[in-house]
A and B are shown apart, each in its own frame.
Chain A
Amino acid sequence: MSRFTDASPDPQSHIKTLMRIGYTMPSAVSDILDNSITANAKNIKIHSLPSLQESNISIVDDGDGMSPDELIQNMKIGCKDPGDERLRGDLGRFGSGMKTASFSQARKLTVISKKEGEPICAAVWDVDRIEDENTWCLEILDENEIKSHPLLLLNGQKECGTQVIWEKLSCLNKTNHSLDDETIMASNLSDLGDYISLHFHKFMEGNNKRNFSINNAQLQGIDPFMTRSPGYQEGRSEKLRCKGGYIEINTHVLPHFKRMETNPLERLGGANGIVQNQGLYIYRENRLINAGGWLGLAKTSQLGALARVEVNVPSSLDQEWATDVKKSSLQLPPRIKKELRKFLSDPIKRSKRVYTYRGKLDQANKYWNIQENENEKIISYQISTKNDLLSDIFRVIPKDQKSQLIKYLGQLAENLPLNHIYQKMSESPRDIDQENVTDALLEAIMSRVFEEEIIE
């Protein structure tokens, strides 16, 4: 006869597993920001100022906040069923994000919250205590303890919202010879700012705009498609109906590097970043999940560097898209792969066209062409190959003389005295007389040939 025994995980070991779920500091903070957005926060502030005590990070929002009961419920790991349907705009999924993200970066998590009509409340997960006592013991702070909390930023008297505090930071990852906390934190915060500006850029503009700041410095969104830059091309788009809404696919082609403004180019990682990050941009409820890469649907190439395919997916499809706890990766369902393939060739082809564009060719006269390349910002004057006289000469002269003539014409064009022409054209344009140069040239050639014959 079989029997059952309690084999629930040991808290001491389980917490260590949860701490190594694979978050980076930016992806962990982003998970907290997801909760703030779901709670309708309009202002989300990240604070991590140097202090005499240990470094810490606070994320404060002015969202709906939580009642004491809701806070305790939400502090439990796996507080929500991943199979439950989420409302549109809800960026959560597993009910574990806040805790696992926090434990990956800090050994102490404090959440202070205030909901309208409810008292301010706070709860603390301390990994050291869980390990020491080998039990999931959640500390609940009383009102006086909350008010005297040294890191309290939420004004619980006046406003609703939530403050998440990370202390005993493990993300600083200090060793004997590493830099000091402040230097590491400054570098982390800089990366974090870029990450948030890119991954939440759709929340930084439009009617549903939210303000994000790090240490009171407002973050500006990074548009990975450079839709407002000159030379940007919008491509095909389509909507696929699915459970819970639509999957929207839009294709974009970035302007050529040379036409990109310096600031947006730098924010997208420079020319290298543009090449490496070509591909699919998958958004879940407007939050960027996958920033580039073709996910096996196409090959990364230099010529396809400017191609981007935007895919917007509702959270109702999480199961089909195999969204993970971190919400930082997903798998494309086979049908979507098939649909997406239809969209890849167009932006890649257009990217190649932008890349290989040699510029506009204008005929100045029968002898000269003007080539203007807007991408490279180059203008060149070239000898026209469509000149009848030149064609006739080429037809009658032998092969070795043809190559000599080509070489000569090439050098003639390369050595055009442009500076002199420019100077004289601007100073005394009327003095320039090109009408009789053919006679003068003939005369000079004849006399030179004559002299050579005499010498021989």
Chain B
Amino acid sequence: MNMEILDVVVKVAACVCGKDGVISQVEEEVILATISSEYPSYSLIRFNQTLDDFFDDNLQLEDYLEQISDQNLNKFTINLCEFSASADGLDIKENIALHKVKLILGDGL
């Protein structure tokens, strides 16, 4: 698996969980655990760097979603967002963002 596209997947999840500018520890742990169990070669260092980049980027959720063209990744991305965002309770903003991910990526499923 192309690691760069996994970075984008992580950023999508970060976008859903970090709607207000912060990602809780539980959410972060769930993102890492979920991606590591599916893609064991995705390292912690890479994960941390991706999240740092995410906070420095000015891109919107749609901009990240556009970059995911691999149909096989769509379901995984939706699951990743769902698991991580609901890890410490799904709030209204997170729920709206999750719906957006499902709408855009779920089309082909």
Contact = CB atoms under 8 A, between A and B. Distances in A.
Interface in B29-72: 51, 55-56
B90 interface: no
A86 to B, nearest CB: 14
Contacts of B51: 241
Interface stretch (B17-25, B77-85, B95-103): B17-25
B47 to A, nearest CB: 11
A421 B20 CA distance: 68
Where chain A touches its partner, the secondary structure class is mixed
Counting chain B residues whose Cβ lies within 8 A of the other chain, the interface size class is 10 to 19
The 7 closest A-B CB pairs, nearest first, are A335-B20, A243-B55, A240-B22, A241-B23, A242-B22, A238-B25, A239-B25
A244 B21 contact: no
A238 B87 CA distance: 14
Contacts of A244: 55
Contacts of B55: 241-244
Contacts of B28: 241
Given A240-B23, A247-B22, A338 B56 contact: no
A133 interface: no
Contacts of B26: 238
Given A243-B55, A243-B56, A333 B25 contact: no
Given A241-B51, A243-B55, A336 B24 contact: no
B20 A240 contact: no
A292 B44 CA distance: 36
A339 B24 contact: yes
Contacts of A139: none
A320 B26 CA distance: 22
Nearest to B26: A238
Size category, A interface: 10 to 19
A317 B56 CA distance: 12
A334 interface: yes
Contacts of A336: 22
Interface in A315-347: 317, 320, 333-336, 338-339
Given A241-B51, A242-B55, A333 B20 contact: yes
Interface string A236-254: 0011111110010000000
Contacts of A338: 91
Most buried by A among B18, B26, B51, B91: B18
A326 B101 CA distance: 42
B71 to A, nearest CB: 30
Contacts of A239: 25
Nearest to A334: B20
Contacts of B91: 338
B21 A242 contact: yes
B21 A243 contact: yes
B15 to A, nearest CB: 13
A337 to B, nearest CB: 10
B40 to A, nearest CB: 22
Interface in A274-299: none
A334 B28 CA distance: 20
Contacts of B24: 238, 240, 339
Contacts of A238: 24-26
Contacts of B20: 333-335
A244 B51 CA distance: 10
30 contacts: A238-B24, A238-B26, A239-B25, A240-B22, A240-B24, A241-B18, A241-B22, A241-B23, A241-B25, A241-B28, A241-B51, A241-B55, A242-B18, A242-B23, A242-B55, A243-B21, A243-B55, A243-B56, A317-B21, A320-B21, A333-B20, A333-B21, A334-B20, A335-B19, A335-B21, A335-B22, A336-B22, A338-B91, A339-B22, A339-B24
